């Protein structure tokens, strides 16, 4: 474990740069939320870089880049609406087609301008002005401009809370207006120093997608699928066009008329064809990379990685030795309960589960020692660690109690609630066995392995826990509608450099009845304690980043949260993400850390533009 901690400390040190830069987004003076680091325009590519158009089948392997689909099989491969619940974007949709306004670089802390050039607040942080890049065009040749941004935001506001991001934006935006073709003004209901970072900078995974008004203006955004190959749909600004779809494979070819190359901002990316594919179990997917038929593989186990490297010595990872993984990912792993279901709506029973869980055993078995147990639901980043340390110092967060593995205490609590042990080794009350149904996403082996260990631990104390996988779309929908009992997930995700984003996930303002879609607080934490906690969170959200008052409010909120334990923190997320250098080089690694490595995020645009052919 010492080697692991040594490597993790190196990675966390790199994140300090992110902290220092992003913390600058709380000034009273109207400055950017973080420095926008503009890259110098490059000359348009030479003619030889624009090969004669050929069919996708004619593009050779050495000019093809193949990705593993992070979330597994895509249930509806003809759904290309990025805002309807249940849509997928990890199959190339937001890595090849949808370009973001800005990209947060975790390794440097910089916010990289993309479709946007700058986004600045006024002195009171309640008016933000977005400047767009000149010369951007949609893939059908129409201009990308302020009309598209205003249309997209108003569409979301008009359809809140039904569309993704709409409830969040409706919370903050009073109105949005076009100043000129390249300038948009956001008028907020209240100050928000995090506005650019949270919604338009790919802080975690993705960001608000801007839509082409000329295609969407007469469509119903709740039903429009945005897919018609004969019309060239979907239309976005990215350097690739979609050419074929299926539940397990998506093919894109490079658009040699891409706007970025035309105006000399960036040369065309080197790969002429992109494929996102899903081959099923870990063994099948690693076999593809071993045979050099996959260039980017999603998260796999340590054992699978070591076997893969034996078969294909060209495979690399973020670290070249333990822990190999990019760790910590910003979404820690948590054991989550539906708080409307008995007996888990009782905080004492949630603490019984906590005492039954042995995090050290989870790290050893589920992770083969390649991660750390969580102190909090935050990722273990320096700025967030400071807040956790403060809560511990002031007695609001008892880490020894959280990490206490005490099966006997767990049983005492359960028995104090009227449950008695039956002859079969399980607890009963009023003739009903104490069971717990734990679900996981079918594509995510990391969470499945956590669940398997937790099941064994709960079985040992007399809870008949079971585990089953669900299709990704079903699993997500069940969470949103409250149709689950327990799950291993990561939905406390949000905070990177400040505490509000993750804390707000538990806010009672998101409370939604079971059977209706919840935009947040899908666990449905409620009651007087949740209400008091939410008031504190709301106050934190109104303050500039770095305001000294946040410390006091955070400690008070954490004291409430800790006693209630609405979600049980388990481990820090780790992602072993292998890259094959047989055909493509210059993948991001710890030694070549030009950006963070997760290729299911929208910042993958930046990675693709930096890749180089292995053979010239």
Report d(CA 186, CA 388) in Å as an integer.
33
Q: How confident is the model at residue 51 (pLDDT cuts 50, 70, 90)?
A: low
Q: Select 333-571's CATH number: 3.90.79.10, 3.50.50.60, 3.10.105.10, 2.60.40.1170.
A: 3.10.105.10
- Where are the domains positioned within the chain? 2-276+577-613, 333-571
For residue 450, what are its two tokens?
């956590």
Are residues 440 and 430 in contact, defined by beta-carbon separation less than 8 angstroms? no
**Residue 38: which region, alpha, beta or left (left: phi > 0; alpha: psi -120 to 50)?**
beta
Cis peptide, bond prior to residue 234, ω within 30 of zero: yes
* pTM score of the predicted model: 0.87
DSSP 494-519: --SSSSHHHHGGG-GGG---TTS--S
Average pLDDT over residues 160-188: 97
Average pLDDT over residues 267-290: 97
In this prediction, residue 616 carries a pLDDT of: 66
- The two most distant CA atoms of the chain are separated, in Å, by 79
In this prediction, residue 29 carries a pLDDT of: 33
Helix (H, G, I), strand (E, B) or coil at 111: strand
Report d(CA 516, CA 482) in Å as an integer.
8
| Minimum mean pLDDT range among 4-13, 91-100, 414-423 | 4-13
Mean pLDDT score across all residues of the chain: 92
User: Which residues have CB under 8 Å from 287's CB, separation 6+?
Assistant: none
| Minimum mean pLDDT range among 83-92, 318-327, 531-540 | 318-327
Average pLDDT over residues 75-85: 96
pLDDT digits (tens, 9 = 90+) for 425-449: 999 999 999 999 999 999 899 999 9
Report d(CA 70, CA 287) in Å as an integer.
16
Are residues 465 and 508 in contact, defined by beta-carbon separation less than 8 angstroms? no
Query: What's the fold here for domain 2-276+577-613?
Result: D-Maltodextrin-Binding Protein; domain 2 (3.40.190)
Q: How confident is the model at residue 140 (pLDDT cuts 50, 70, 90)?
A: very high
**pLDDT at 279 exceeding the cut of 70:** yes
In this prediction, residue 252 carries a pLDDT of: 98
pLDDT digits (tens, 9 = 90+) for 377-404: 999 988 899 999 999 999 999 999 999 9
Report d(CA 478, CA 191) in Å as an integer.
34
**C-alpha distances in Å from residue 357, one per residue of 187, 375, 430, 592:** 47, 14, 26, 38
């Amino acid at each position: 474990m010492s080697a692991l901690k040594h490597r993790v400390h190196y990675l966390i040190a790199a994140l300090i740069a992110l902290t220092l830069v992003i913390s600058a987004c709380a000034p009273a003076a109207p400055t950017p939320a973080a420095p926008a680091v503009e890259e110098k325009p490059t000359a348009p590519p030479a003619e030889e870089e624009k090969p004669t158009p050929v069919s996708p089948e004619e593009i050779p392997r050495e000019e093809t880049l193949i990705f593993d689909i992070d979330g597994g099989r895509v249930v509806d491969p003809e759904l290309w609406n990025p805002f309807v619940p249940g849509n997928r974007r990890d199959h190339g949709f937001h890595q090849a087609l949808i370009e973001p306004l800005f990209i947060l670089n975790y390794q440097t802390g910089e916010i990289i301008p993309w479709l946007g050039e700058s986004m600045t607040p006024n002195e009171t942080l309640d008016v933000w002005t977005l400047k767009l890049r000149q010369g951007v065009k949609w893939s059908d040749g129409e201009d990308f401009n302020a009309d598209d941004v205003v249309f997209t935001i108003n569409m979301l506001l008009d359809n809140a809370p039904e569309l993704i991001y709409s409830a969040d934006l409706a919370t903050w935006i009073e109105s949005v207006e076009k100043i000129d073709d390249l300038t948009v003004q956001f008028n907020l209901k209240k100050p928000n120093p995090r506005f650019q970072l949270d919604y338009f900078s790919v802080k975690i995974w993705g960001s608000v997608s801007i839509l082409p008004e000329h295609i969407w203006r007469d469509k119903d955004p709740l039903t429009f699928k945005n897919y018609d190959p004969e019309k060239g749909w979907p239309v976005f600004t990215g350097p690739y066009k979609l050419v074929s779809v299926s539940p397990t494979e998506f093919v894109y070819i490079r658009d040699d008329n891409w706007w970025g190359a035309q105006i000399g901002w960036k040369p065309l990316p080197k790969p002429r064809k992109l494929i996102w594919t899903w081959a099923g179990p870990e063994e099948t997917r690693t076999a593809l990379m071993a045979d050099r038929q996959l260039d980017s593989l999603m998260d796999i186990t340590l054992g699978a990685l070591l076997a893969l490297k034996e078969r294909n010595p060209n495979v690399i990872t973020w670290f070249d030795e333990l822990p190999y993984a990019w760790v910590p990912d910003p979404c820690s792993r948590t054991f989550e309960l539906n708080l409307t279901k008995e007996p888990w709506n009782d905080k004492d029973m949630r603490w019984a589960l906590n005492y039954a869980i042995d995090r050290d055993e989870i790290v050893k078995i589920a992770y083969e020692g390649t991660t750390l147990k969580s102190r909090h639901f935050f990722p273990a980043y320096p700025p967030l660690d400071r807040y956790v340390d403060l809560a511990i110092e002031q007695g609001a967060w008892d880490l020894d109690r959280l990490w206490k593995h005490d099966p006997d205490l767990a049983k005492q609590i359960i028995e104090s609630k009227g449950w008695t042990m039956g002859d079969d080794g399980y607890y009963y009350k009023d003739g009903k066995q104490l069971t717990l149904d734990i679900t996981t996403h079918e594509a995510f082996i990391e969470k499945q392995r956590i669940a398997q260990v937790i099941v064994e631990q709960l079985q040992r104390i007399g809870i008949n826990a079971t585990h089953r996988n669900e299709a990704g779309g079903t699993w997500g929908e069940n969470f949103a509608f409250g149709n689950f009992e327990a799950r291993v997930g990561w939905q406390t995700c949000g905070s990177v450099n400040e505490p509000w984003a993750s804390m707000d996930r538990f806010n009672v303002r998101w409370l939604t009845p079971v059977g209706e879609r919840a935009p947040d607080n899908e666990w449905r934490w409620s009651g007087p304690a949740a209400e008091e906690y939410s008031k504190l969170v709301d106050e934190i959200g109104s303050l500039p980043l770095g305001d000294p008052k946040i410390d006091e409010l955070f400690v008070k909120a954490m004291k409430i949260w800790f006693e209630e334990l609405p979600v049980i923190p388990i481990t820090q997320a780790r992602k072993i993400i292998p890259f094959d250098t047989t055909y493509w080089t210059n993948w991001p690694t710890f030694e070549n850390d030009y950006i963070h490595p997760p290729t299911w995020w929208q910042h993958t645009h930046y990675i693709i533009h930096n890749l180089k052919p292995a053979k010239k």
